[in-house]
Amino acid sequence: MGIQTNTGRTHFKKGFIPWNKGKICPATPNNIKASEAMRGVPQPKPEGYAELMRSINKPYGRKQNSDGRNLGKKLRVWRDEYVMVYKPEHPTSRKKAPDYGYVLEHRYIMELHLGRSLLPTEFIHHIDGNKSNNVVSNFVLCQSLKEHNRIHTEMEMFVEKLIREGKVKYNLDKKEFEYV
């Protein structure tokens, strides 16, 4: 006895035309075919939609007044330990919610310091490892990701050297490194 693959109960028979082929879906605007409506073609948004959505869905994260640096609008937001400032006119500002109009503060400060825009291939290393310490003296401008990763590797090797020399040790009770 062979295995039957198409019994006709669960599959269309060969040559059978579905009942809704070419039918128009009355619920869609301008009587678009149902198949076209299901493609996910975005409909145009009404005027003022973006501003309305920004007022309803506020950017998440902690906000506070600027700490005295002249950064334009006095809103700062933290994302993954990085500080972002609101600069919607900046060419690299985020174009999608929830970070619409925000720029990474450390990149913005470095651009002000250099007097030019940073290239997408340029990275900034925080010397002290604190990503919210955005002072120019705490920055190293790296020309590539490879150079930035090299700095991290050298830092790890230096800490290992301090541990081997006995200048730093790991406290098991506090679960952190300490100077000896």
Residue that wins the pLDDT comparison between 6 and 108: 108
Mean pLDDT of 143-151: 93
Confidence of residue 144 (pLDDT cuts 50, 70, 90): very high
**The pLDDT of residue 59 is above 90:** no
Q: How far is CA 88 from CA 12, 40, 72, 84, 171, in A?
A: 55, 29, 10, 12, 46
pLDDT of residue 73: 45
Hey, what are 82's tokens?
A: 């990085």
pLDDT of residue 137: 93
pLDDT of residue 74: 47
Q: What is the mean pLDDT of the chain?
A: 78
**The pLDDT of residue 78 is above 90:** no
Q: Which residues, 6 or more positions from 118, have their beta carbon under 8 angstroms from its beta carbon?
A: 107, 110, 111, 124
Mean pLDDT of 29-37: 58
Q: Coil, helix or strand for 45?
A: coil
Around 37, how many Cα atoms within 13 Å sit in the side-chain half-sphere? Answer: 13
Please state, for a pLDDT cut of 90, what percent of the chain lies above it: 27
Taking only the tens place, the pLDDT of each residue in 153-178 is 998 899 889 889 989 888 889 888 88
Determine if the pTM surpasses 0.85: no
Confidence of residue 66 (pLDDT cuts 50, 70, 90): very low
Confidence of residue 16 (pLDDT cuts 50, 70, 90): confident
Q: How far apart are CA 67 and CA 70, in angstroms?
A: 9
